[in-house]
Amino acid sequence: MSDYNEKEMKMMYPPYLDNREYLDALIDSRIRYVVNYAYNNIPFYKELFDKNKINPETIRTKEDLEKLPIITSKELIKNSPPLSKEFSFESEKGKGGFRFYTSGTKGQPKIFYHSRDDMKFMNEISSRAFHMAGINKKDVVLNCFPIGINVSGMATCFIFNEMGIKQIPAGVAPFPPKEQLIKTHKPTVLLSSGSYVDRLARQLMNNGTDPKEVGFEKVIIGGEASSLEKKKRIAKEFSAKVFDLYGSTEGMIMAMGCTKGNLHLMEDANHFMLYDNEKKEFIKEPGKKGQAIMTTLIPIGYEKGSVLINYKIGDSFEFEDKECSCGLKLRTITPPHRSDDAIVISGAKLDMNDIERLIYNEKMINKLTGEYEILVDFDEKTRTPILNIKLESLGKIDKFIGEDIKSNLINSNFPLANEISNGRIIMNVDSVEPGNLDVLKIKGKPKRIRYIKPI
DSSP 319: B
**Does 298 share its domain with 366?**
no
User: Of all residues in the chain, what percent carry a pLDDT higher than 90?
Assistant: 63
CA–CA dist 22, 349 (Å, integer): 41
Phi first, then psi: give them for residue 150, nearest 5 degrees. -80, 155
Q: What is the dihedral of CA 171, 174, 179, 182, to 10 degrees?
A: -20
> Based on the domain organization, do 324 and 349 belong to the same domain?
no
Tell whether 349 and 331 lie within a shared domain. Answer: no
Percent of the residues in the chain that have a pLDDT greater than 70, as a whole number: 96
Residues 377 and 392 placed together within one structural domain of the fold: yes
Q: Write down which residue in 335, 364, 387 finishes a domain.
A: 335
For residue 389, the enclosing domain spans 342-451
Per residue in 48-65, pLDDT (tens digit) is 999 999 999 999 999 999
Q: Residue 243's domain is classified under what CATH number?
A: 3.40.50.12780
Same domain, 228 and 349: no
Where is pLDDT greater, at 454 or 433?
A: 433
Nearest to 385 by CA among 449, 314, 316: 449
pLDDT given for residue 340 in this prediction: 65
pLDDT of 222 strictly over 70: yes
Amino acid residing at 56: P
CB atoms near residue 257 (< 10 Å)? 24
Same domain, yes or no: 15 and 135: yes
Q: Across 225-310, where does the E strand assignment appear?
A: 241-248, 252-257, 263-265, 270-276, 281-282, 290-296
Residue 151 zone, left/alpha/beta (φ > 0; ψ -120 to 50; rest)? alpha
Cα 394 to Cα 369: distance, rounded to the nearest angstrom: 5
Kindly state whether residues 301 and 413 are assigned to the same domain.
no
CA–CA distance, 375 with 453 (Å, rounded to integer)? 9
What pLDDT, on the 0 to 100 scale, is given for residue 92? 84
Q: Please list, in sequence order, all residues whose beta carbon lies within 8 angstroms of the beta carbon of residue 29, skipping any fewer than 6 positions away.
A: 300
Tally of structural domains, the chain: 2
Looking at the fold, whether 324 and 429 belong to one and the same domain comes out as: no
The string of pLDDT tens digits covering residues 164-191 is: 999 999 988 776 788 999 999 999 999 9
Last residue of a domain, one of 285, 309, 335: 335
Return all residues near 189 (Cβ < 8 A) that are at least 6 apart.
135, 139, 140, 141, 142, 216, 217, 218, 219, 220
Cis peptide leading into residue 176 (ω within 30°): yes
Q: What is the pLDDT of residue 351?
A: 80
* Dihedral in degrees, nearest 10, Cα atoms 308, 122, 291, 83: 40
> Residues 408, 259: one domain?
no
**CB of 196 closer than 8 Å to CB of 172:** yes
| pLDDT surpasses 80 at 383 | no
> Which of 73-82, 133-142, 194-203, 377-386 ranks highest by mean pLDDT?
133-142
Q: List residues bridging with 255 in a β-sheet.
A: 246, 265
Q: Do 357 and 415 sit in the same domain of this protein?
A: yes
Question: Which residues are bridge partners to 113 per DSSP?
Answer: 99
Geometric angle at alpha carbon 50, from 49 and 55, rounded to 5°:
65
pLDDT of residue 93: 86
User: Do 331 and 346 lie in a common domain?
Assistant: no
Domain boundary among 290, 316, 335: 335
Q: Which residues contact 369 (CB under 8 A, 6 or more apart)?
A: 198, 199, 202, 392, 393, 394, 434
Tens-place pLDDT, residues 239-273: 999 999 999 999 999 999 999 999 999 999 999 99
Cα separation, 104 vs 250, whole angstroms: 13
- Give residue 418's identity as a one-letter amino acid code: N
Q: What is the pTM of this model?
A: 0.82
Average pLDDT value over all residues in the chain: 90
Chain-centre distance for alpha carbon 70: 21
Average pLDDT rounded to a whole number, residues 374-385? 85
Cα separation, 90 vs 203, in Å, equals 43
Give mean pLDDT, residues 9-19: 90
- Per-residue pLDDT reduced to its tens digit, 421-449: 988 899 999 999 988 888 877 665 667 88
Highest-confidence segment of 24-38, 230-244, 344-358, 388-402: 24-38
Query: What is the CATH number for 360?
Result: 3.30.300
Question: Same domain for 180 and 255?
Answer: yes
Apex CA 353: angle with CA 347 and CA 355, to 5°? Answer: 85
CB burial class (10 A; 0-12, 13-18, 19+) of residue 50?
A: exposed
The two beta strands, 218-221 and 241-248, are parallel
| Per-residue confidence (pLDDT) for residue 1, from 0 to 100 | 45
Answer yes or no: is pLDDT of 72 > 60: yes
Q: How far apart are CA 156 and CA 147, in angstroms?
A: 9
